[in-house]
Amino acid sequence: MNGREAVLSRVRQSLGVTGKEESRRREVAERLADVPRGVIPARGQLPDEERIALFMKQADKALATIERVPSAELVPEAIAMYLRSKNLPAELKRGEDPRLAALPWERAPQLAISTGPTGGRDLVGVSHAGAGVAETGTIVMLSGPENPSTLNFLPDYHIVVLSAGDITGDYETAFDKVRAQYGAGVMPRTVNFITGPSRSGDIEQKLLLGAHGPRSLHILVVG
């Protein structure tokens, strides 16, 4: 008997079932199809503007920095300003996400921009979020050819562009968006929920930022 059969038959023996019971199979199939939402915190169930404000407040609590940019055209200048305020070189690497590619980068001509994944030599990475979650100030990153996951982790500074309209109240609604985009039961290779910059408390339980991932997370909420 192989490992698979052995484990499954032992589970069935302990449960006293055969695995063929119609009612059990139906119950499982229904839960997987209906994806019940459970208890949703009231905190995030707000009108648009208040939900965006909650997102910004919670991201700040998680030690990210956040700024609101009224329109997408202003993003390149906002990024250039941020780099200057941190005394960083005007260089960045970004994915080829069409929402980033369409930005008027010529408005910040001092920025030296390269695209693609990072091998760890880039100080600043810029990504576009798939969604934001207001209840905890969490950004949701969806991997793909134009959105490399390495940009989320290897650069010291991670700058994330998030459309205000993509901010949901709760994780469950963010997953609804993923299901709508990829189909039921299908996920991108990597979905990263990110809540603040990397940290560790492993030495004497003292919180320190910048463990292995970015030391700073800067979120630009657009619109």
Partner 1 sequence: MHLTSPQFKSNVDHALHDAQLQKALGNVRAGFIDKRAKAAAALPEFEALRDNARDIKDHTLAHLDLYLEAYEKRVTESGGHVHFAETAKDACAIISSICKSVGAKTVTKGKSMIAEEIGLNDFLEADGLTTVETDLGEYIIQLRHEGPSHIIAPAVHLNKEQVEADFRRVHKDLPGDRDLSEPASLLSEARAVLREKFLAADVGITGANFLIAETGTSVIVTNEGNGDLTQILPKVHIVIASVEKITPTLNDASQILRLLARSATGQDMSVYTTFSTGPRRPGDVDGPEQYHVVILDNGRSSMLGTEFEDMLRCIRCGACMNHCPIYHSVGGHAYGWVYPGPMGAVLTPTLVGVDKSGHLPNASTFCGRCESVCPMRIPLPKMMRHWREREFERNLSPATVRWGLSVWSFFARRPKLYQFSTGLAMRALGAFGRAKGRFSFLPLAGGWTKYRDFPAPEGATFQQQWKAKRGAA
Binding residues among 161-220 for partner 1 as defined by CB under 8 A: 170-172, 175, 178, 185-206, 208, 210-214
CB of 48 to partner 1, least distance (A): 22
Alpha helices in 35-170 (DSSP H): 48-61, 75-85, 98-101, 150-153
Q: How many residues bind partner 1 (CB under 8 A)?
A: 82
Of positions 91, 153, 163, 223, contacts partner 1 by CB under 8 A: 153
Contacts with partner 1 in 8-47 (CB under 8 A)? 8, 10-17, 19, 24-25, 27-28, 31-32, 35-43
Q: Please, which of residues 49-108 interact with partner 1 by CB under 8 A? A: 58, 61-62
The binder of partner 1 chosen from 53, 72, 123, 150 (CB under 8 A): 150
Question: What tokens does 178 get?
Answer: 């993923």
Return the DSSP state at 70.
S
Minimum CB separation of residue 89 from partner 1 in Å reads 20
Shortest distance, CB of residue 59 to partner 1, whole angstroms? 11
Least gap, CB of 146 to partner 1 (angstroms): 9
Backbone dihedral region for residue 194 (phi beyond 0: left; psi -120 to 50: alpha; all else: beta): beta
CA-to-CA distance for 85 and 184, rounded, in angstroms?
Answer: 43
What minimum distance in Å lies between the beta carbon of 10 and partner 1?
A: 4
The distance of closest approach from Cβ of residue 16 to partner 1 in the complex, given in angstroms and rounded to an integer, is: 7
Which residue type occupies 217?
L
- Phi, psi for 214 (deg, rounded to 5): -55, 140
69 vs 149, beta carbon nearer partner 1: 149
Residue whose CB is less far from partner 1, 43 or 74: 43
CA distance 89 to 103: 20
* Min dist. Cβ of residue 144 to partner 1 (A): 7
Residue 7 lies near partner 1 (rule: CB under 8 A): yes
Nearer to partner 1, 144 or 223 (CB): 144
Candidates 88, 93, 96; CA nearest to 112 is: 93
Shorter beta-carbon distance to partner 1: residue 13 or 110: 13
> Per-residue b/e over 17-49, b at no fewer than 16 CB within 10 Å?
eeeeeeeeeeeeeeeeeeeeeeeeeeebebeee
Cα angle 126, 130, 133; round to 5: 105
